[in-house]
Amino acid sequence: MVAKFGRWLLGRWLTGGSRDPLWDHFINRTPADPKNNLTPALQGAPEGRIYPVKTEVSDPQTMSQQIKELGQWVGADLVGIAALQPDHLRPGGQSDAPYPFAVVCAIASDYDPREAKGLGGQLAGQNGAVVNHHLRNYIRELGYRASIGGADPLAVAVAAGLGTLDRHGRLVTKIRSSYMHVADAILTDLPLAPDVPQP
């Protein structure tokens, strides 16, 4: 405890801590050129071809575990899998062939990307886009369909048991963080084992 506090104090002293005059600029100031924020480009990255050879999934439980492990390894703090319900969908989100499952990731952050408009404040959103990019494309390379953006991520996150919603509509989880950013849900037909929602 003492060591932790000492390290924090030393860190504040070495890096300038809150005395950094540009930090607020970095977190909160809207970019002059919106293209300097890479997040929309990553979120809207085009889908590639689905790999023609389908990998057989013998055990959905193992596959779910793999997807979660991979998601956490590439930067998500929580990864959940939900059985997709019709009320999770955004209007016009469902394609002709329905998706049975949704994978959703949450990223712990000190800043809320909806309020902090600077490049630093948007980082949680970008990390979510990166995790989604990796997971969606991994599923497509396994030979299954996967797409982003068809469902309401918060509803899916609650259904996947990541946490509950507070009265401001934010996700509350067991991870201690001032803000949990929920990335867009990935809809897929990869055979997975859905999680149980928290009571």
Which one of the spans 41-49, 85-93, 169-177, 188-196 is the region binding other proteins (CB under 8 A)?
41-49
Shortest spacing between CB 38 and other proteins, in angstroms: 5
Which member of 62, 85, 95, 198 binds other proteins (CB under 8 A)? 62
Backbone angles phi, psi at 136, to 5 degrees: -60, -45
Single residue of 88, 125, 126, 188 touching other proteins by CB under 8 A: 126
Give the interface segment with other proteins, choosing from 70-78, 84-92, 93-101, 162-170 (CB under 8 A).
70-78
Q: Does 186 bind other proteins (CB under 8 A)?
A: no
Q: Which is nearer to other proteins, 35 or 174 (CB)?
A: 35
Residue selected from 60, 72, 112, 141 as contacting other proteins according to rule CB under 8 A: 141
Q: Bridge partners of 106?
A: 78, 182
Using the rule CB under 8 A, is 22 a contact of other proteins?
A: yes
DSSP of the chain: -HHHHHHHHHHHHHH-GGG-TTHHHHHHSPPSSGGG--HHHHHTPPP-PPPSSPPP-S-HHHHHHHHHHHHHHTT-SEEEEEE--GGGBPTT---SSPP-EEEEEEEEESS-TTT--STTTTHHHHHHHHHHHHHHHHHHHTT--EEESSB-HHHHHHHTTS-EE-TTS-EE-SS--SEEEEPPPEEE-S---PPPPP-
For residue 61, state whether it binds other proteins (rule: CB under 8 A). no
Q: How many residues bind other proteins (CB under 8 A)?
A: 43
Q: Which residues bind other proteins (CB under 8 A)?
A: 15-16, 20-23, 25-26, 31-38, 41-42, 45-49, 51, 55, 62, 66, 69-70, 73-74, 119-120, 123, 126, 130, 133-134, 137-138, 140-142
